[in-house]
Chain A
C-alpha cells in the first residue's frame, strides 16, 4: 500500500503541508514552538507538544463531555451497586418482557430480569474487556513495532509480512472461527482474540513513528555521542512514538467494546451467566417487535460507551496534531 490509514480512516501521509496563509502561519510560529504533527515526530521539546495539547483539550467541549462520560462509566463499572441496588441475575419469569414500571424504569427482559440492573452491570464487562484488550494490544503492538522500526532489516520485513497476513483475515470471521470452540465462561478468550488480531494496527503506527523519530537530527547526534541502542530507544524515540499510539489505542478501545458485543451477539463471545450488553441485545433481538425496550437500553448504553471513547480519541488526536486544524 502506498499509504496507510489510521483507525479513523484519515490518511496519515506526511507530505502536503498545504499553503496556509502566510501571516497566520507566521503569527503562530512566533507564539509557540512548533510541535511537529503526529507521526512526523515533534521537532521541538515533547513537553511543549503535551502542554499545548492539554491547553487545547481543556477548552474542547467534546473532550470534556466524553471524559466525564468515561469517568462515570469507570466508576459504575467498579461500583455498580452505587446506582443499581438489585441483582442482575435475580430474575422472575412471571415478569418476562414487561415494560417500564416504578422501581424498574427499563422494564424486564425475556427471562424476567431487571433490564436497568443488567444494563448497569454490563458496563463492568464492556469496560474490562475494552481496557484489558487495549492494554494488551498497545503493549504487544508497540513493543514489536518499535523494535521493527528501530532495527529494521530482516526482522522488519518478516514482521511486515506477518502483519499483512493478519490484515487479510476479516476480524469478525476470525473471531467466529477461533472462539466458536471455546467453552470458557471468562472474558479472557475474547481479550486474547482481540489482542491476537488487533496488535497489527498499533504495530504499524508504532513502527512508522519510530522510523520518523529515528531520522531526527538529535537522534543522530545522540548516536554520534556514543549513546547505546537502549538509551536512544527509551530516551529519544519512545517519547515521540507515545502520542500516536495513545491516540490510536483510545479510539481502538471503543471499537474493541463494540467488537466484544458483536461477537457476543453472534454467540461466540461472552456467554451467560456473564452480564454483557452484547448477550442481552442478542437475547432481545427475537422480541424486537413486541418488547423493543429490551434491546434499546443495552444498545443505547453500548453506543454511548463506544462513542465516548471514540470521541475522546478524536479530540486527543486533534489536540496532538496541529496540522489537521
Chain B
C-alpha cells in the first residue's frame, strides 16, 4: 500500500505540471496580461514595457512558469493586479466554495443514492421509468438554465429564498445553489446506483443471501448495497474536484463570491496570477481527491490489491 501511494504521488507530478503549464500557457500566450491595467484605454508603450518588466513578463514563458511555480511552493501565489495577495483572495473564496461543494455532495449522497436504490430495486416499474426520465431531463437541461429557473421560481415568484447569496454564504443560503451545482451529478449518481443495484441484484451472492434465509432488509443493506455502492462512492469522490472547478456557473447565477467568482473576474480582467493560482489549487484538489478515492476503493473492495 505504501509503495502504491508513493508511486501514485510520483505519477501525479507530470500531470500536475502538465495541467498547470497548459493553463499558464493559455493565460500568458493567448491573452495580454497587462491589458486591463491602464483602465479602459490601452497602455502607452513605455508604461507597458515598465509594467512587463516589473512583473517579469519580459522573460521567456518557461522561465516565468518556473519562477511562478517556485514561488507557489514557498506559499507565495503572487499578487493580483489590484494589489491584493492571491492567497488572501483564496482564503475568502475557498471556504465559500467548499461549503457549496459540501452541500452539493450531500445532495448527491442523500437524494442520488436513495433514488438509485429505489429505482434499481423496482426496475421497469412506473417509479423507475419516471425517475429515469427525470434524470435524463436533469442531465439535458444545462446547469445555467436549471439555476436561472430555480432562481426565478423559488427566489422571485415564490420568495422562498433570496435570489442572491450574501457575502457570508452560510450553509442555509447555499442549499438551492448546492442543489443546482449537484443537479447533473445527482442524476448520474441515481443512474449509476440504479444500474449497479440492478446488476448486483441478480448476482450469485445475493441469491446465496436469500437462500440463507436472511430477511429482505438484511439482504439489501448488508449484501446488495454494500457491493453496489463501491462504484458510486468512487464516483462521488472524483466528483469533488469537478464540482469545485465547475462552480463558476452556479456562483455567477447566485452571485456567490467563491472560487468560481474570483476566477471569472480574474479571467475577464486577465489577472494571470489569480487565474493560474486558483487553477493550480483546483488541479491539486482534483488529483488528491482521485488518489484518496483509489485508496478508499481498496478499503471498500478487499479484492483490490495495490502493490
Check A-B contact in the complex, CB < 8 A.
yes
Contacts of A18 in B (CB 8 A): 199-200, 202-204
Knowing A16-B199, A281-B148 are in contact, say whether A9-B282 is a contact too (CB < 8 A).
no
Residues in A253-269 with C-beta less than 8 Å from chain B: 254, 258-259, 261-262, 265-266
Whole-angstrom CA separation of A5 from B297 in the bound complex = 15
Whether A168 and B15, one on each chain, are in contact in the complex, defined by CB atoms closer than 8 angstroms, is yes
- Given B231, B235, B238, B267, which contacts A180 in the complex, CB threshold below 8 Å? B267
Hey, what's the 0/1 contact readout for B254-288 against A, CB within 8 Å counting as 1? 00000000011001101000010001001100110
Whether B249 and A177, one on each chain, are in contact in the complex, defined by CB atoms closer than 8 angstroms, is no
Interface size range on B against A: 35 or more
Whether B279 and A161, one on each chain, are in contact in the complex, defined by CB atoms closer than 8 angstroms, is no
Whether B191 and A8, one on each chain, are in contact in the complex, defined by CB atoms closer than 8 angstroms, is yes
Stretch of B21-29, B41-49, B97-105 lying at the A interface: B21-29
Whether A258 and B31, one on each chain, are in contact in the complex, defined by CB atoms closer than 8 angstroms, is no
Hey, what's the 0/1 contact readout for B9-51 against A, CB within 8 Å counting as 1? 0010011101100110011001110000000000000000000
Hey, what's the 0/1 contact readout for B117-155 against A, CB within 8 Å counting as 1? 000000000000000000011011111110011011000
Whole-angstrom CA separation of A19 from B156 in the bound complex = 52
Contacts of A182 in B (CB 8 A): 30
Whole-angstrom CA separation of A227 from B26 in the bound complex = 45
- Given A162, A172, A181, A307, which contacts B249 in the complex, CB threshold below 8 Å? A172
Residues in A178-229 with C-beta less than 8 Å from chain B: 178, 180-182
Whether A324 and B156, one on each chain, are in contact in the complex, defined by CB atoms closer than 8 angstroms, is no
- Given B15, B202, B241, which contacts A20 in the complex, CB threshold below 8 Å? B202
Instruction: Kindly report which residue of chain B lies nearest to residue A264, judged by CB atoms.
Output: B144
Whether B290 and A254, one on each chain, are in contact in the complex, defined by CB atoms closer than 8 angstroms, is no
- Does chain A have a CB within 8 A of B92? no
Residues in A1-19 with C-beta less than 8 Å from chain B: 1-3, 5, 8-11, 13, 16, 18-19
Whether B30 and A168, one on each chain, are in contact in the complex, defined by CB atoms closer than 8 angstroms, is no
- Given B15, B140, B275, B297, which contacts A161 in the complex, CB threshold below 8 Å? B15
- Does chain B have a CB within 8 A of A173? yes
User: Shortest distance in angstroms between A312's beta carbon and chain B's nearest beta carbon?
Assistant: 11
Whole-angstrom CA separation of A281 from B249 in the bound complex = 13
Whole-angstrom CA separation of A176 from B297 in the bound complex = 33
Whether B196 and A11, one on each chain, are in contact in the complex, defined by CB atoms closer than 8 angstroms, is yes
- Does chain A have a CB within 8 A of B164? no
Whether B282 and A302, one on each chain, are in contact in the complex, defined by CB atoms closer than 8 angstroms, is no
Contacts of A161 in B (CB 8 A): 11, 14-15, 18
User: Shortest distance in angstroms between B292's beta carbon and chain A's nearest beta carbon?
Assistant: 12
Whether A11 and B137, one on each chain, are in contact in the complex, defined by CB atoms closer than 8 angstroms, is no
- Given B15, B191, B248, which contacts A172 in the complex, CB threshold below 8 Å? B248
Interface size range on A against B: 35 or more
Whole-angstrom CA separation of A268 from B223 in the bound complex = 49
Whether B245 and A173, one on each chain, are in contact in the complex, defined by CB atoms closer than 8 angstroms, is yes
- Does chain B have a CB within 8 A of A270? no
Knowing A172-B246, A173-B245, A288-B151 are in contact, say whether A162-B18 is a contact too (CB < 8 A).
yes
Contacts of B202 in A (CB 8 A): 18-20
Whether A173 and B282, one on each chain, are in contact in the complex, defined by CB atoms closer than 8 angstroms, is yes
Knowing A10-B192, A288-B148, A299-B149 are in contact, say whether A306-B156 is a contact too (CB < 8 A).
no
Whole-angstrom CA separation of A180 from B36 in the bound complex = 13
- Does chain B have a CB within 8 A of A295? yes
Instruction: Kindly report which residue of chain B lies nearest to residue A173, judged by CB atoms.
Output: B245
Which of B142, B267, B286, B304 is the most central at the interface, judged by chain A CB atoms within 10 Å of its CB?
Answer: B142
Contacts of A307 in B (CB 8 A): 136-137, 140-141
User: Shortest distance in angstroms between A63's beta carbon and chain B's nearest beta carbon?
Assistant: 13
Whole-angstrom CA separation of A181 from B304 in the bound complex = 46
Knowing A3-B234, A314-B136 are in contact, say whether A9-B189 is a contact too (CB < 8 A).
yes
- Does chain B have a CB within 8 A of A74? no
Q: A3-B234, A181-B270 are in contact. List 20 more A-B contacts (CB 8 A).
A: A2-B304, A11-B195, A161-B14, A164-B15, A165-B15, A168-B18, A168-B19, A168-B286, A169-B245, A173-B246, A173-B279, A177-B267, A177-B279, A180-B268, A258-B140, A258-B142, A259-B142, A262-B142, A285-B148, A288-B148
Which residues of chain A have a CB within 8 Å of any CB of chain B? Answer: 1-3, 5, 8-11, 13, 16, 18-20, 161-162, 164-165, 168-174, 176-178, 180-182, 254, 258-259, 261-262, 265-266, 281, 285, 288-289, 292, 295, 299, 302-303, 306-307, 310-311, 314, 324
Which residues of chain B have a CB within 8 Å of any CB of chain A? Answer: 11, 14-16, 18-19, 22-23, 26-27, 30-32, 136-137, 139-145, 148-149, 151-152, 156, 188-189, 191-192, 195-196, 199-200, 202-204, 207, 231, 234-235, 238, 241-242, 245-246, 248-249, 252, 263-264, 267-268, 270, 275, 279, 282-283, 286-287, 290, 293-294, 297, 304
